[in-house]
Amino acid sequence: MQLDARIRIAQLLLFVTPSLWAANYVIARLSVGVIEPHALAFFRWLVALLFMLPIAWPALRANWPAWRREWRDLLTFGALGMWICGAFVYIGARTTSGTNIGLIYAVSPVLIAAASARWFGDRLTLRQKGGLAIAIAGVLLIILKGNPAAFLQLRFTPGDLWVVTAAGAWTVYSLMLQARPTVLDPFARLTAIVMAGLLVLAPFTIVEALVLGLPRIDTQTVLLVLAAGLLPGFGAYQAYSFMQKQLGPARTGLVLYLGPPYAAAATWLILGEQPCWYHWAGTALLLPGIWLATARGAPTGAGR
């Protein structure tokens, strides 16, 4: 596939991937009282691995003598991406809304872009900085509900703090994924990370089951696990890995700006949370902001 075609696909995925993560916010809320957080995270990634492993196995087997030396990195990625960014979100969903989860995750791109500029020299052009500013304005409009004075009235629940921790872990995960070398292609590497993540999740899931009991097996539980494994698990992480390779961590991180409007739409359609005018107005800023911030135009004096 030609480079330009891959970049265009990656830019298209910027607008598709948030819908997969928004599904996770809905799943998180629907799972409360049905399946415990670590169990849901564990079985989510087990389902994803069942789909990934047959595809990645040839590369994993061929490179085994080399990539097994990356085990420390893989365990770190598994802890960040599958445990903290998985179970912590489900724990947080007990005391916060799906929309709040999307809003909090919208902070991650700012952290990713700032850290990328400092550590990787991944600076944005003036055009991209303008798009970033527009996207931030859209996020703030949604967070503040169209009222700047609401900033002084913001309150966070314990669930919000769990999600803040997960968003911070996602930032570190994204940056480390770019910084740490590997002998594997992105798909095979992610498969190895999922295996490591299951190893990290296993003891927590076992303790959770011993304390709270085994998860019940019924249609609702199975559907939640399958949806979590296929949409925000297999689908979203594959897309994110591809986008990061083509666009870099700073531009790919901007995809999380679409979390608030997508989360608002998903929770409206499925959970019955009605969106307000500021959700639509914020989306009207976010969409062109994302496009400008991720376009690869000619560099300016402030660019690369």
pLDDT digits (tens, 9 = 90+) for 90-122: 999 998 877 777 767 766 766 676 677 667 666
Say if CB 263 and CB 101 are below 8 A apart. Answer: yes
Span 178-215, pLDDT tens digits? 888 899 988 899 999 999 999 999 999 999 999 999 98
List the single range of 55-64, 199-208, 262-271 with lowest mean pLDDT: 262-271
pTM: 0.79
Question: Please, are residues 243 and 186 in contact by the beta-carbon 8 Å criterion?
Answer: no
CB-based burial label for 188 (10 Å; 0-12, 13-18, 19+): buried
Instruction: Return d(Cα 198, Cα 211) in angstroms, integer.
Output: 20
Contact 159, 95 (CB under 8 A): yes
Mean pLDDT score across all residues of the chain: 83
